């Protein structure tokens, strides 16, 4: 592990972080996790308003820190956590838009692999098209826990996109035909960084938008569904 800390993005030391970090995109959601799920939570980073906390969940030491929006942002934070701060597991917790008709608002999505339209993977300099995937042990724990809780979930391929407002109206249909479950904006970079560092990652998303039917979650439903997702992620923290 490098001693290249603190960094320009994380003003902390390795002892400040647990081995597992939950990463929502929004700094306010990181604060929400700390305030509502963790005991004795301590703020360990607030550089650029990207709040990171460490506390205890059912006796386990766990951290949570925002990733920001998009692959360049989570790419920086996850790289530094893995390589400079001794973090072993990062679990992304966020929302996604569903591409398949059988997926309902509030369903959980476990990203087994993350396709992407980004150049992030090419920056690794590998001699081909690298396919970033999650850690199987985290995925299995997530599926088992979701079965125990009776949650509806879908495990499969997702796509991490750099583009939120796409000018091509056919793009969603083309990803859907390839079997892609849902779209989000971070997992491919997270999975790639985990693989290159020899660490573990899993992206857990809640379906907040059904892109086939046009349905979208109410603010109340979004909050309760996100709580289920956060609790499941904390349950599988190692």
The residues carrying an active-site annotation are 209
Taking the C-alpha atoms of residue 161 and residue 183, their distance in angstroms, rounded to an integer, is 7
Stretch (H or E) spanning 71 = helix 71-84
Q: Quick check: 217 and 105 in contact, CB under 8 A? A: yes
CA 217 to chain centre: 19
Q: At 114, phi and psi to the nearest 5?
A: -130, 100
Q: Quick check: 96 and 206 in contact, CB under 8 A? A: yes
Closest CA to 41 of 24, 18, 23: 18
């Amino acid at each position: 592990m490098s001693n290249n800390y603190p960094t320009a993005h994380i003003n902390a030391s390795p002892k400040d972080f647990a081995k597992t970090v939950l990463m929502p995109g929004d700094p306010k959601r990181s604060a929400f996790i700390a305030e509502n799920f963790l005991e004795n939570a301590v703020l360990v980073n607030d550089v650029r308003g990207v709040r990171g906390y460490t506390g205890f969940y059912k006796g386990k030491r766990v951290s949570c820190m925002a990733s920001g929006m998009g692959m360049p942002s989570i790419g920086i934070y996850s790289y530094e956590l893995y390589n400079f701060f001794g973090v072993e597991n990062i679990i992304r917790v966020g929302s996604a838009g569903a591409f398949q008709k059988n997926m309902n608002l509030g369903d959980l999505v476990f990203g087994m692999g993350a396709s992407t339209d980004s150049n992030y993977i090419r920056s690794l300099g590998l001699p081909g098209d690298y396919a970033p995937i999650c850690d199987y042990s985290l995925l299995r724990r997530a599926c088992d826990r979701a079965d125990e809780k009776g949650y509806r979930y879908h495990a499969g391929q997702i796509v991490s996109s750099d583009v939120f407002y796409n000018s091509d109206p056919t793009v969603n249909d083309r990803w859907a035909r390839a079997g892609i479950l849902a779209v989000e904006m971070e997992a491919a970079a997270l999975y790639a960084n985990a693989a290159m560092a020899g660490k573990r990652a899993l992206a857990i998303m809640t379906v907040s938008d059904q892109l086939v039917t046009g349905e979208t979650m109410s603010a109340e439903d979004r909050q309760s569904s996100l709580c289920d997702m956060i609790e499941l992620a904390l349950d599988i923290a190692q």
